[in-house]
Amino acid sequence: MAELINVSYDTQIPNNVSLSTDRRVLKALERWHPGYITWWKGLGPVGFQESSVYLRTAVSVDPKGWAKFDYVKMPDYRWGILLAPQVDGRTIPCGEHYGQPAWQEVPGEYRSMLRRLIVIQGDTEPASVEQQRFLGKTAPSLYDMRNLFQVNVEEGRHLWAMVYLLQKYFGADGREEADDLLRRQSGSEEAPRMLGAFNEETPDWLSFFMFTYFTDRDGKMQLESLAQSGFDPLSRTCRFMLTEEAHHMFVGETGVGRTIQRTCEAMNEAGITDPYDIDRVRALGVIDLPTIQKKLNLHYTLSLDLFGGEVSTNAANAFNAGVKGRYHEIKIEDDHQLKEATYPVSEFTEGRIEVKDAPALTAINMRLRDDYSADAAGGVKRWNVIISKYNIDYQMKLPHEGFHRQIGVFSAAPITPQGDVVAKEEWDQRRDEWLPSKADGDFIQSLMKPVWETGKYASWIAPPRIGIDNKPGDFEYVQLHMA
């Protein structure tokens, strides 16, 4: 079992899938590698490619100690192929093949369905790196800069993970898809990334933290669903990716939390109690709470769109095929086939919001989205604890599911964050009350001044409570080596 747990470094690509004895796949990956490095240098982090960053690298899939920390130049990062250990006797956890042995090869009838899901998953990973490429330049501290780059290299590794599956299990068309993953580009007119949220900009650090809190959490939920796949190599791949994902959401939650904390501290120091006294709060060099709420509204709703339609035959087919499961499928107590079950789904007809029971099989996306919202609510609660500690009368909230949507039953519906249906004109008029306006963006941008001195933090964000890898806050997380 040892070789399954420890990663072998005897090939160019560290892995625990015995690549050194799988010449065909090793060759395909080695052919893909230069294009990846070209992509990383061209569309990955702008600047800092020569800096030494204190990064964790996965060296094992043992949950007790899978990573080691050291200074690395990002282009030299060892992006590896790591699968969680095979579970003996694993069976297909849902759908019409329920209880049959998990597939070790791609079943012919589900080949295109699986390829599509793997390609969509793969497409989001480099997209997020592209979206975040300019942020290094305005990092509020070396600690934050290091976290950004950690997230970036790991999203790069997630791309490798999907490319491995495509090249190992999908032959010539898999190789073509692997090449296309480096051809599409976030925000491009001709060849955009596949899903909506991954073509949006991440213009500032508050967006980055909201993105890693809300959108990486969509990643978590989708990976949880694919970790239940009857196609075992996909399941094992996603299970290991989830261990890395936890840190991305930590960066988001603590980043937003530290931003909120700094705002509240500054308000207390200045004796400002009204959170809506925006000009005075902004004059302190911190981001006012209502603007933070607007950013939350934006990133949460963009992320809800990533779950697809509430009622979806694609999702029903994937579940029925055993290609994708529900969140924690094996812990759910039911028939795992959803033959009779129903699930409450929202509808929007003739200007009214109604909840009706739909066949649970077609409501798979809605259910996963509900699990997501419950998960996302946890951090919001913890942010509110910070605000109350400073005795400020304000609470962050997740907006109503119908607000600002572009996919599903609420697509383009004029619904407020409170869930009220209003006239389209009113919605358009009040948009800037609910979502970041141009002026809000400009203000936040004005705060994005780099702070690259060890142990120092920008005016708008509090230092972290603890460092990375038990290092102190004034540790040199990035050695810049600037010319």
Residue ranges binding Fe ion (CB under 5 A) = 125, 155, 158, 216, 219, 248
Choosing among ligand BYC, Fe ion, none, which partner's interface includes residue 370 (Cβ < 5 to 8 Å by kind)?
none
191 vs 385, which CB is nearer to ligand BYC? Answer: 191
Choosing among ligand BYC, Fe ion, none, which partner's interface includes residue 222 (Cβ < 5 to 8 Å by kind)?
ligand BYC
144 vs 216, which CB is nearer to Fe ion? Answer: 216
Least distance to ligand BYC, CB of residue 4, Å: 25
Helices first, then strands: H and E counts in the chain: 14, 5
d(CA 52, CA 456): 18
193 vs 282, which CB is nearer to Fe ion? Answer: 193
292 vs 368, which CB is nearer to ligand BYC? Answer: 368
Least distance to Fe ion, CB of residue 215, Å: 8
Least distance to Fe ion, CB of residue 219, Å: 5
Least distance to ligand BYC, CB of residue 15, Å: 21
d(CA 74, CA 57): 11
Tokens of 285: 């060099």
Least distance to Fe ion, CB of residue 248, Å: 4
Least distance to ligand BYC, CB of residue 199, Å: 9
Least distance to ligand BYC, CB of residue 437, Å: 24
C-alpha angle 166/170/176, rounded to 5°?
65
Choosing among ligand BYC, Fe ion, none, which partner's interface includes residue 315 (Cβ < 5 to 8 Å by kind)?
ligand BYC
Using an 8 Å Cβ cutoff, are 365 and 315 in contact? yes
36 vs 427, which CB is nearer to Fe ion? Answer: 36
355: exposed, middle or buried (Cβ count in 10 Å: 0-12, 13-18, 19+): exposed
Tokens of 433: 């009350």
- Partnered with residue 348 across adjacent β-strands are 353
First to last CA, the chain: 47
Choosing among Fe ion, ligand BYC, none, which partner's interface includes residue 253 (Cβ < 5 to 8 Å by kind)?
none
Contact set with ligand BYC (CB under 6 A): 117, 120-121, 124-125, 128, 155, 195-196, 215-216, 218-219, 222, 305-309, 312, 314-315, 365, 407
Choosing among Fe ion, ligand BYC, none, which partner's interface includes residue 28 (Cβ < 5 to 8 Å by kind)?
none
- Could you tell me which residues come within 8 angstroms of residue 405 by beta carbon, excluding any fewer than 6 positions away? 301, 304, 305, 411, 412, 413, 415
Taking the CA of residue 185 as centre, how many other CA atoms within 13 Å lie in the half-sphere pointing to its CB? 10
What DSSP element (H or E) covers 57? strand 52-58
Residues listed for the chain: 483
226 vs 316, which CB is nearer to Fe ion? Answer: 226
Choosing among Fe ion, ligand BYC, none, which partner's interface includes residue 407 (Cβ < 5 to 8 Å by kind)?
ligand BYC
219 vs 233, which CB is nearer to ligand BYC? Answer: 219
Residue nearest to ligand BYC (CB): 308
Helix (H, G, I), strand (E, B), or coil: what is residue 219? Answer: helix
144 vs 288, which CB is nearer to ligand BYC? Answer: 144
d(CA 358, CA 365): 12
Using the 8-state DSSP alphabet, how is residue 81 labeled? B
Choosing among ligand BYC, Fe ion, none, which partner's interface includes residue 166 (Cβ < 5 to 8 Å by kind)?
none
Edge to edge, the sheet with strand 478-479 lists: 67-73, 52-58, 478-479
Least distance to Fe ion, CB of residue 469, Å: 19
Neighbours of 149 (CB within 10 A): 26
